[in-house]
């Protein structure tokens, strides 16, 4: 994999022929630095054949100037004093290459960000620019010809998380002919969207649009679906990740089970006894269950914490008898698989804010305080109440209040806006009214309805008689102060539009709990070696220009794991992440900066000091030779080992000791 050129013995160095260019950057640099003087000075230094100043070095004529001079004066080293190399190193390297010179014979001097933009005194700024130019000129003579490192990219992708984001990305990649492994932690894919009833603003049924996509995932020949599985280790680098996936035992042979549920009916538990996660705990399931009717795959699962046989070994195992396909396997063990993929799309979604953190709203204390997710299940015709909105004691609520921003836009909990609660609360308001005939009041700080058709939806709610009260609710209490409040929950709120504090008795309260990062986001971040914000949302490389790429090449983000968003934005982002991954995989390779470290085997003493230091595990010991060596494709050029090798046997391309010392000498010597 190592291009041999990068390790060729250092060619005997003839006196270099250096070309020096200083850029005015319009007036950005020239206003503060005397560019003509810098060029004059540079021309007087040893090795410099010519020095020029020019208005815009990065412009086409500016680059052309360099190319012409290289040809005409046989220049073999180029120094450009201009802006940050972050901006234009690539530009000038390309110019060198066009003129037939190895692009790494370039050195840049940043006299804009480091000089003209931070200094006022022209004389002092010019003197500083002179010192920096001298350093670069001394350094560049030690530059080596290098080749960028080409790393091949595997054409397989791993999608982590099977919510709508992961499903959409996986299908796109599979359709484009890439092999996809979709890893979902729960027994079924679908994520939060599967739990929703209708979706705003069009009120189309969530299951109707999601289920076909779930089946398509299951059926697609290019998709391997691993539910009930988690990623426990990621090694390698862009194009060549090795991912270790742990598949939890569901005690069912997935290949044999057809989801007929004979076993569920036969279970010794006659009725469901344990809170059903899919219905947000509003109904009960058995130890053996199918998560929900459209679950994909259609394979039951046994809950080891509930199953009598798995817990105590004592059970009649009526389920086993009932299964005529012999699909129940009580001694199933966790499986660990290692897969190799080129790219990874992270689509692990969000968690919901735990409303017991705000005791003033009474969740968990008053039975008739619900969350919006519970409300979604209540209005759903395949939900625990078959779509009838009922209080916990079975009564039909006459009046319902929905409290917004529970755990959002609140400095005591989460400062961010969860972005979908205004909209899905209005959706639920309409649905609850439709299903229960109840009067619905929404308590809000602002209604945020930015989105196509969203403001119109708000309008519709206003027109159709949903009540809106503006104010952050102070508390929900069952302490009645008037006869009218007796037997009700009372919302105490400062109505900021009316300008006084109100007490509003209601039968049912729904808390619009906000989104928060998955509880294990930080752990996962470490496994994937990506960054997350302070709050725990995975961090995109650039909020505007790189919204789905991460700081780790080859790993992309889709959906709510990056921050709260609704389904349209989630799907758009999933499409973008798939496109980014495809672009990479279709090109087949990436080029990396050859700033890698290397060990001279004749010099290494095999002391192993460097081995534990590499954050990318790029260094290995060749046991037979007793020498360390670096896998160039893994090395990210951080330099940790270079500094630490006690015998100085590790060097780094582009940062060779002699280059760095020449630069230091240059900047410190007196002109």
Ligand X SMILES: Cc1cc2nc3c(=O)[nH]c(=O)nc-3n(C[C@H](O)[C@H](O)[C@H](O)COP(=O)(O)OP(=O)(O)OC[C@H]3O[C@@H](n4cnc5c(N)ncnc54)[C@H](O)[C@@H]3O)c2cc1C
- Name which position in 160, 406, 436, 491 contacts ligand X (CB under 6 A): 160
636 binds ligand SF4 (CB under 6 A): yes
Binding status of residue 238 toward ligand SF4 by CB under 6 A: no
Strands (E), 410-539: 439-444, 467-470, 473-477, 489-495, 500-506, 508-513, 515-517
Region 321-350 residues binding ligand X, contact defined as CB under 6 A? 347-350
Q: 22 vs 66, 117, 238, 620, CA distance in Å?
A: 11, 16, 37, 44
Three-state secondary-structure class, residue 384:
coil
Per rule CB under 6 A, is residue 635 in the interface with ligand SF4?
yes
CB nearer other proteins, residue 96 or residue 604: 604
Minimum distance from residue 535 beta carbon to other proteins (Å): 24
- 79 or 528, CB closer to ligand X? 528
**Binding of residue 666 to ligand X (CB under 6 A):** no
- In DSSP notation, 556-572 reads EE-GGGGS---HHHHHH
How near is the Cβ of 639 to ligand SF4 at its closest, in Å? Answer: 5
Residues 497-556 that bind ligand SF4 (CB under 6 A): none
The answer to whether residue 227 forms part of the interface with ligand X (CB under 6 A) is no
How many C-beta neighbours within 10 Å does residue 664 have? 13
Cβ(379)–Cβ(432) below 8 Å:
yes
529 vs 238, 526, 539, 591, CA distance in Å? 12, 5, 11, 20
Window 524-563: residues binding ligand X (CB under 6 A): 524, 559-560
Cα separation, 156 vs 425, whole angstroms = 40
Beta-strand ranges (E) seen in 18-163 are: 18-23, 48-54, 77-82, 106-110, 149-152, 156-160
633 binds ligand SF4 (CB under 6 A): no
Say which entry of ligand SF4, other proteins, ligand X, none residue 661 contacts (CB below 5 to 8 A, set by partner kind). Answer: other proteins
Q: What angle do CA 330, 292, 525 make, to 5 degrees?
A: 80
Token pair, residue 588, equals 């087949």
Q: How far is the CB of 620 from ligand SF4 (least distance, A)?
A: 10
Residue 234 CB, nearest approach to ligand SF4 (Å): 16
Nearer to ligand X, 184 or 507 (CB): 184
53 or 569: whose CB is closer to ligand X?
569
Q: Which of 391, 605, 423 is nearest to 509 (CA)?
A: 391
Place of tokens 């003197």: 127
Beta strands in 33-98 (DSSP E): 48-54, 77-82
Q: Does 191 bind ligand X (CB under 6 A)?
A: yes
Nearer to ligand SF4, 185 or 627 (CB): 627
349 binds, among ligand X, other proteins, ligand SF4, none (CB under 5 to 8 A by kind): ligand X
- CB contact at 8 A, 504 and 401: yes
Nearest distance in Å: CB 349, ligand X? 2
Which is closer to other proteins, CB of 588 or CB of 648? 648
In the window 604-623, what residues touch ligand SF4 (CB under 6 A)? 604-610, 613-614, 616, 618-619
CB nearer ligand X, residue 186 or residue 368:
186
What separation in angstroms does the CA of 577 have from each of 190, 245, 556?
19, 22, 6
Interface of this chain with ligand X, residues 349 to 408, rule: CB under 6 A? 349-350, 352, 372-373, 376
Fill in the DSSP letter of residue 366: B
- One residue of 67, 518, 550, 659 binding ligand X per CB under 6 A: 518
Cβ–Cβ < 8 Å for 659, 139: yes
Pick 509 or 599: Cβ nearer other proteins? 599
Q: Which residues pair with 340 in a beta bridge?
A: 242
How far apart, in whole angstroms, are the C-alpha atoms of residue 554 and residue 339? 15
349 CB neighbour count, 10 Å cutoff: 24
Query: Choosing among ligand X, other proteins, ligand SF4, none, which partner's interface includes residue 635 (Cβ < 5 to 8 Å by kind)?
Result: ligand SF4
Q: Does 185 bind ligand X (CB under 6 A)?
A: yes
> For binding to ligand SF4 (CB under 6 A), which residues are involved?
597, 599, 604-610, 613-614, 616, 618-619, 628, 630, 635-642, 645, 647, 649-650
> For binding to ligand X (CB under 6 A), which residues are involved?
160-166, 183-186, 191-193, 196, 199-200, 230, 347-350, 352, 372-373, 376, 420, 424, 427, 518, 524, 559-560, 565-568, 570
């Amino acid at each position: 994999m190592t291009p041999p050129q990068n390790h060729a013995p250092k060619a005997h160095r003839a006196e270099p022929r250096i070309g020096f260019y200083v850029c005015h950057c319009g007036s950005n640099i020239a206003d503060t630095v005397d560019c003509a003087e810098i060029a004059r000075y540079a021309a007087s230094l040893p090795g410099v054949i010519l020095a020029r100043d020019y208005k815009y070095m990065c412009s086409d004529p500016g680059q052309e100037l360099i190319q012409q001079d290289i040809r005409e004066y046989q220049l073999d080293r180029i120094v450009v004093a201009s802006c940050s190399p972050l901006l234009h190193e690539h530009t000038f390297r390309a110019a060198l290459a066009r003129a037939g010179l190895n692009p790494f014979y370039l050195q840049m001097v940043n006299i804009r960000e480091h000089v003209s933009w931070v200094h006022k005194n022209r004389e002092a700024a010019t003197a500083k620019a002179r010192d920096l130019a001298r350093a670069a000129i001394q350094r560049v003579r030690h530059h080596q010809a290098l080749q960028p490192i080409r790393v091949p990219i595997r054409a397989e992708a791993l999608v982590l998380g099977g919510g709508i984001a992961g499903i959409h990305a996986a299908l796109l990649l599979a359709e484009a002919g890439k092999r996809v492994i979709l890893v979902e932690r729960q027994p079924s894919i679908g994520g939060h969207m599967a739990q929703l009833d209708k979706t705003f603003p069009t009120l189309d049924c969530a299951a109707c649009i999601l289920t076909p996509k779930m089946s398509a995932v299951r059926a697609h020949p290019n998709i391997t679906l691993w539910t009930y599985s988690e990623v426990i280790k990621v090694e390698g680098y862009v194009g060549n990740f090795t991912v270790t996936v742990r598949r939890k035992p569901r005690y069912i042979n997935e290949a044999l089970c057809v989801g007929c549920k004979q076993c569920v009916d036969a279970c010794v538990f006659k009725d469901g006894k344990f809170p059903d996660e899919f219905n947000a705990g509003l109904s009960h399931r058995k130890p053996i269950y199918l998560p929900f009717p459209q679950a994909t795959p259609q394979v039951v699962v046994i809950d080891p914490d509930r199953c009598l046989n798995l817990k105590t070994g004592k059970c009649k195992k009526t389920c086993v008898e009932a299964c005529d396909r012999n699909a129940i396997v009580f001694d199933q063990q966790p499986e660990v698989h290692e897969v190799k993929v080129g790219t990874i799309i992270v689509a692990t979604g969000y968690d919901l804010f735990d409303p017991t953190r705000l005791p003033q709203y009474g969740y968990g204390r008053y039975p008739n305080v619900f969350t919006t997710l519970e409300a979604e299940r209540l209005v759903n015709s395949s939900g625990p109440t078959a779509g009838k909105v009922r209080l916990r004691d079975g009564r039909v609520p006459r009046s319902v209040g929905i409290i917004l921003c529970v755990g959002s836009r609140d400095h005591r909990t989460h400062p961010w806006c969860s972005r979908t609660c205004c909209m899905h609360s209005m959706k639920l308001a309409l649905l609850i009214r439709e299903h229960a005939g109840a009067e619905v009041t929404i308590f809000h700080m602002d209604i945020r309805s930015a989105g196509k058709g969203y403001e119109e939806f708000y309008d519709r709610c206003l027109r159709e008689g949903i009540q809106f009260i503006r104010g952050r609710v102070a508390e929900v209490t069952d302490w009645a102060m008037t006869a009218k409040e007796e037997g009700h929950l009372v919302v105490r709120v400062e109505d900021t539009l009316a300008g006084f504090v109100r007490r509003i008795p209601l039968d049912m309260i729904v808390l619009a709990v906000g989104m928060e990062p998955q509880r294990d986001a930080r752990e996962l971040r470490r496994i994937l070696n990506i960054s997350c914000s302070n709050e725990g949302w995975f961090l995109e490389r650039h909020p505007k220009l790189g919204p789905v790429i991460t700081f780790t090449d080859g790993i992309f983000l889709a959906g709510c794991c990056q921050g709260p968003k609704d389904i349209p934005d989630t799907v758009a982002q999933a499409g973008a992440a798939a496109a980014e991954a495809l672009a990479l995989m279709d090109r087949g390779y990436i080029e990396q900066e050859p700033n890698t470290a290397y060990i001279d085997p004749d010099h290494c003493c095999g002391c192993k000091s460097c081995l534990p230091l590499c954050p990318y595990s790029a260094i290995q010991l060749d046991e037979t030779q007793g020498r360390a060596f670096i896998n160039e494709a893994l090395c990210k050029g951080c330099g940790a080992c270079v500094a630490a090798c006690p015998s100085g046997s590790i060097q780094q391309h582009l940062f060779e000791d002699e280059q760095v010392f020449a630069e230091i000498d240059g900047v410190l010597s007196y002109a």
